[in-house]
Amino acid sequence: MAIAMERQTVVIPANRVSGPKQGNWTYHHYAALPDDGQRYEIIDGVLLMTPAPGIAHQKTAQRIFRLLAAHVEDVGLGQVFIAPVDVELFPKVVVQPDVMVVLKANEGKIKPTRIIGAPDLVVEVSSPATIGYDRREKQDAYARAGVPEYWIVHPGEQTIEVLTLEGCAYASLGILSGQTPLLSKIVPTIAEVAADKIFA
Tens-of-pLDDT digits for all 200 residues of the chain? 333 333 345 899 999 999 999 999 999 999 999 999 899 999 999 999 998 888 999 999 999 999 999 999 999 999 999 999 999 999 999 999 999 999 999 999 999 999 999 999 999 999 888 899 999 999 999 999 999 999 999 999 999 999 999 999 999 999 999 999 999 999 999 999 999 999 97
The domains of the chain are located at: 2-50, 55-198
pLDDT at 53: 86
What span, in angstroms and rounded, lies between the C-alpha atoms of 63 and 74?
15
Half-sphere exposure of 51 (CA within 13 A, CB side): 21
Residue 37 phi, psi dihedral angles, 5° rounding:
85, -5
* Domain 55-198: CATH class, spelled out: alpha beta
pLDDT at 9: 56
Q: Give the distance between the most distant pair of CA atoms in the chain.
A: 50
Residue 187 phi, psi dihedral angles, 5° rounding:
-125, 75
pLDDT at 2: 35
